[in-house]
Homo-oligomer: A and B are copies of this chain.
Amino acid sequence: MKLSKPSDDQQPTHRIVIVGGGFGGLYAAKELGRSQQFDVTLIDKRNFHLFQPLLYQVATGKLSPGDISSPLRAILSRHRQVKVLMDEVLDIDPQQHQVTLSSGTLPYDTLIVATGVSHHYFGNEQWADVAPGLKTIEDALEMRRRIFLAFEAAEKETDPEKRRAWLTFVVVGGGPTGVELAGALADLAYTALKDDFRSIDTKETRILLLEGVDRVLPPYPPDLSAKAARSLEDLGVVVETQTLVTNITTDAVTVRQGEQTRQIPTKTVLWAAGVRASKMGTVLAERAGAELDRVGRVIVNPDLSLPGEPDIFVVGDLAHYAHQDDKPLPGVAPVAMHEGAYVAKLLQRRLQGEDLPPFRYSDAGSLAVIGHNAAVANFGWLKISGFPAWLIWVFVHIYYLIEFDNKMIVMIQWFWHYFTRKGGARLITGEEGKLNESEFTAEVERDRTLIR
């Protein structure tokens, strides 16, 4: 397998291998693609970049997978010295400066690892089948399938108790993903679907958002958390904080609130409670002595390199960067983009014998959308909520979508849905309607310390 083409001129080309085509890896590749001196290979298991912040809209049937995905090759097609390889990295050899792929080995001068995180059940991996998480397109389609099948099952069900269980949706985790999912479910049940059924009234749908700590959106200031909770309640979502999930089966979620334990009968549980680093973290620990934090993220130097390995960098959600403020930088897209671009600039400078000051993330603000016309935004000096925050949210997301792939189409779809409150991609696809009916009995308390 020929992977590195020989350079034509005298000066040997500096070979950079980037693992992962998310926000971190892609921004590094785009920035490096501007220089002629590098030979860049971007490796990803998938052939597309996923605009993960909008994945919840696929899960709730508003957008199609294609609307939030762009082929990596298309994004990078004009960067002629950037090569895209659809492959999986199985191992890293820092001594030999090479990575092992499923189809061979590939040498590097500099390695950038940006493989992100996946969702995680804190030792209750048996919950994965009954409470799907949301990290991949396939995850989103599985959520979509379960959500719409639940309404179909409720329409056919005549037992009032069972019907109520089909019309009860429980979202576990009150971070941005959980808040967005709960809000989108409310839009769906109370507006988009309200005329579509004959035996049920979708307005009777119950949507519960469960959070372990004392408020939703814990990374935000308390007053914005309170506003988010109020907005959710206005939409019809039941917000329950200080609520620990102790068990999930195909028929119910068991929760503990203080000393009280209670069962919530439900057929649909969506998991938005926590993440764990992808397995490249472990590979870096074993092969390059990387130190990992409690969720497996790689602790990095102030320049995002690995301690003791100046030719290996870690960016994005996989990196634990603790050189700014007292806590690590959050696992959000803007941090990953800035980190990817920083490493690219650092490498460009180094080629000219120069250096860069340590990485610093300048937080432009955080945004979380709740539902139609409702969001919260925190710019530090300014905290806003409601319609103005929602408008900012829409424009920021469109800006980034267009930057990647001219996805004006999403803007137009939103515009359309905004006025019709209908439309979207409410398909049930996949294994024609079969629900997983396996039962789980393990009663393990959720590790509350890992809840963000």
Binding site for B on A (CB under 8 A): 1-2, 45-48, 63-67, 69, 71, 73-74, 77-78, 80, 83-87, 103, 137-138, 148, 152, 155-156, 158, 193, 195-199, 405-406, 408-409, 412-413, 416, 420, 422-430, 432-433
Q: Are B137 and A66 in contact (CB under 8 A)?
A: no
Q: Are A103 and B196 in contact (CB under 8 A)?
A: no
- Contact check: which of B77, B85, B87, B138 meets A429 at CB < 8 Å? B138
Taken together as a complex, chains A and B put the C-alpha atoms of A276 and B155 apart, in Å, by 33
Interface centre among A47, A199, A406 (most CB of B within 10 A): A47
Q: Are B158 and A47 in contact (CB under 8 A)?
A: no
Q: Which of chain B's residues have a CB closer than 8 A to the CB of A420?
A: 406
Q: Are B64 and A425 in contact (CB under 8 A)?
A: yes
Closest to A66 in B: B425
Q: Using A47-B148, A66-B425, A103-B156 as known contacts, list a sample of 17 further A-B pairs with CB atoms less than 8 Å apart, ordered by residue number in A.
A: A1-B158, A46-B428, A46-B432, A48-B427, A48-B428, A64-B65, A64-B425, A65-B425, A65-B429, A66-B427, A71-B196, A73-B196, A84-B198, A137-B427, A138-B429, A405-B423, A409-B409
Taken together as a complex, chains A and B put the C-alpha atoms of A148 and B413 apart, in Å, by 26
Q: Which of chain B's residues have a CB closer than 8 A to the CB of A2?
A: 158, 199
Taken together as a complex, chains A and B put the C-alpha atoms of A199 and B41 apart, in Å, by 12
Closest to A87 in B: B156
Q: Are A71 and B1 in contact (CB under 8 A)?
A: no
Closest to A63 in B: B66
Interface centre among A46, A196, A405, A406 (most CB of B within 10 A): A196
Q: Which of chain B's residues have a CB closer than 8 A to the CB of A196?
A: 71, 73-74, 77, 84
Closest to A157 in B: B1
- Contact check: which of B48, B158, B406 meets A423 at CB < 8 Å? B406
Minimum C-beta distance from A91 to chain B (A) = 18
Count of identical protomers in the assembly: 2
Q: Are B152 and A71 in contact (CB under 8 A)?
A: no
Q: Which of chain B's residues have a CB closer than 8 A to the CB of A80?
A: 198
- Contact check: which of B69, B85, B198, B427 meets A69 at CB < 8 Å? B427
Taken together as a complex, chains A and B put the C-alpha atoms of A186 and B198 apart, in Å, by 46
- Contact check: which of B74, B416, B429 meets A426 at CB < 8 Å? B74
Q: Which of chain B's residues have a CB closer than 8 A to the CB of A66?
A: 63-64, 424-425, 427
Closest to A71 in B: B426
Q: Which of chain B's residues have a CB closer than 8 A to the CB of A138?
A: 429-430
Q: Which of chain B's residues have a CB closer than 8 A to the CB of A413?
A: 409
Taken together as a complex, chains A and B put the C-alpha atoms of A42 and B387 apart, in Å, by 40
Q: Are B408 and A416 in contact (CB under 8 A)?
A: yes
Q: Which of chain B's residues have a CB closer than 8 A to the CB of A67?
A: 64, 425
Closest to A81 in B: B198
Q: Which of chain B's residues have a CB closer than 8 A to the CB of A412?
A: 409, 412
Taken together as a complex, chains A and B put the C-alpha atoms of A422 and B412 apart, in Å, by 18
Closest to A75 in B: B196
Minimum C-beta distance from A188 to chain B (A) = 12
Q: Are B428 and A156 in contact (CB under 8 A)?
A: no
Taken together as a complex, chains A and B put the C-alpha atoms of A137 and B427 apart, in Å, by 10
Taken together as a complex, chains A and B put the C-alpha atoms of A73 and B424 apart, in Å, by 13
Minimum C-beta distance from A147 to chain B (A) = 11
Indicate whether A409 sits within 8 Å of B405 (C-beta atoms), given known contacts A48-B428, A64-B425, A427-B137. Answer: no
Q: Which of chain B's residues have a CB closer than 8 A to the CB of A427?
A: 46-48, 65-66, 69, 71, 137
Minimum C-beta distance from A51 to chain B (A) = 12
| Cross-chain pairs A/B with CB under 8 angstroms, 25 sampled | A2-B199, A45-B432, A46-B428, A47-B427, A47-B428, A63-B66, A64-B65, A65-B425, A66-B427, A67-B425, A69-B427, A71-B427, A73-B193, A74-B196, A77-B196, A78-B195, A84-B198, A85-B156, A86-B155, A87-B156, A103-B156, A137-B429, A138-B430, A409-B413, A409-B423
Q: Which of chain B's residues have a CB closer than 8 A to the CB of A408?
A: 416
Q: Which of chain B's residues have a CB closer than 8 A to the CB of A198?
A: 80, 83-84
Minimum C-beta distance from A146 to chain B (A) = 13
Taken together as a complex, chains A and B put the C-alpha atoms of A85 and B151 apart, in Å, by 11
Minimum C-beta distance from A382 to chain B (A) = 35
Taken together as a complex, chains A and B put the C-alpha atoms of A84 and B156 apart, in Å, by 10
Taken together as a complex, chains A and B put the C-alpha atoms of A434 and B215 apart, in Å, by 43
Closest to A420 in B: B406
